[in-house]
Amino acid sequence: MKKLSLYVFLVLMFCSNVFAETPGAWKIDNTYLTPKCFVHEWISSDNFKEFYNKYAPGKYESSIYASPQWEDWWSNIGIHFGKEIPLEDSFEASWGKTLSLTRYLENCGSDEPKIEDKIELLSYAISREIPLEYCKTLAPNVDAECLDLKLIKLTQDFSGSMRPVDDMNVYGVFKLVNKKQIIIPLSISPTLKYNDWNLY
């Protein structure tokens, strides 16, 4: 029932005719979140395939990508934190790079508002404020204080003729027992990432 109510809530947000995007940066206490704070799917999807292979049931196969099973797992990624996905966990990807679904505010935050990363060609906008009461629905197994939830529109730009790609994801900021503040993705919506679908 909780999963169904969450689905209905997210559908209502995503299907709204108007996304009242906030031009300002997301601020926690005196620190602003930058684009580096948000885990997102690379254009190659290589990072998401590695995450899925590490944490999802069964081994990743090409037939799973973009399947209902794949989309359901990512749309409900938050329920896996604290169970299949340990908070603060990291691992070495098949090509040698360290990957993690956890971002630390102390590492990715800024003293000044910054919603665009010109080096990474990544920017963000706040599309929705989400009531804190949804923390337990989105992340029921996370044993940490939920500080804030937002629906974020991430835009990846590319040099050349390739069009920008948008992602619409829900992220949560949590305070751990050690007082560190982390940002984790709670719902990834790959079906909303293509501009030409005119969903926002």
Quick check: 6 pLDDT over 80? no
At 22-42, the pLDDT tens digits run 568 999 999 999 999 999 999
Quick check: 176 pLDDT over 50? yes
Q: At 194, is the pLDDT very low, low, confident or very high (cuts 50, 70, 90)?
A: very low
The Cα–Cα gap between 39 and 42 comes to: 9
**Which residues contact residue 74 at a Cβ distance below 8 angstroms, ignoring those fewer than 6 apart?**
48, 52, 187, 188, 189, 190
- What predicted TM-score, i.e. pTM, was given to this entire model? 0.84
Which residue ranges make up each domain of the chain?
2-195
At 119-140, the pLDDT tens digits run 999 999 999 999 999 999 999 9
Q: Is 52 helix (H, G, I), strand (E, B) or coil?
A: helix
137: phi then psi, degrees, rounded to nearest 5: -80, -45
The residue among 34 and 1 whose pLDDT is bigger is 34
